[in-house]
Amino acid sequence: MPPMSIKRIIGVTKAYATRVGSGPFPTELSDSNGEKLQQIGKEVGVTTGRRRRCGWLDLVLLKRAHVINGFTDLALTKLDVLDTFDEIKVAISYQLDGETIKSPPLAVWGRMKVDYQIFKGWQTKISGIRNYNDLPEKCRAFIEYIENYVEVPVTWIGVGEEREALIVR
């Protein structure tokens, strides 16, 4: 298949970040918020039963993935997992030795400090919603911030576990 025949490149991301195994994870939450993401998001390995490490969505990495892959659209999954959070964060840059860096080498990930954009949680169950405009305003602000930062439209939004729990824009 010639590359020009591909019309859409869909980037898929959870509304928060996870990692399996060891290694650097700048936005990892080692507190009750991380445990809450694990429990609500059912973040457990299917084969091993091992709990996945959870953290806030890293927009720096998502933007980098877009630059490399050229996404035309984003699919944002598990947005409903964030329904009960008072505060939701997304990583927007990193600090290393007092300097802001956008694309750090892997070797320094353990030394970086993360800069976050903070959102107020929407505190509303969204799993029954199927129309974008029916989402809470705070939820839409979160999605639109992601779109503006990454410069890719969020076309599909997963709002629950069921196959039908999807908003298509």
Does the annotation place 111 within a ligand binding site?
no
Does the annotation place 44 within a ligand binding site?
no
DSSP annotation of 109: G
- Within 10 angstroms of residue 101's Cβ, the number of other Cβ atoms is 14
Does the annotation place 48 within a ligand binding site?
yes
Does the annotation place 70 within a ligand binding site?
no
Candidates 79, 26, 87; CA nearest to 54 is: 26
- Quote the strand ranges of the chain, DSSP E: 10-14, 16-19, 53-58, 73-77, 87-96, 99-101, 113-120, 154-158, 166-168
Helix ranges (H only) for 105-168 are 137-150
Structure tokens at 47: 């084969």
Does the annotation place 120 within a ligand binding site?
no
Hey, is 71 helix, strand or coil?
coil
Does the annotation place 140 within a ligand binding site?
no
Give me Rg for the CA atoms of the chain. Answer: 16
Does the annotation place 52 within a ligand binding site?
yes
Does the annotation place 34 within a ligand binding site?
no
Does the annotation place 51 within a ligand binding site?
yes
Does the annotation place 50 within a ligand binding site?
yes
Does the annotation place 130 within a ligand binding site?
no
Structure tokens at 120: 């107020």
Q: Which residues are annotated as a binding site for substrate?
A: 46-52
Q: Which residues are annotated as a binding site for GTP?
A: 52, 78-80, 158-160
Q: Which residues are annotated as a binding site for IMP?
A: 50
Q: Which residues are annotated as a binding site?
A: 46-52, 78-80, 158-160
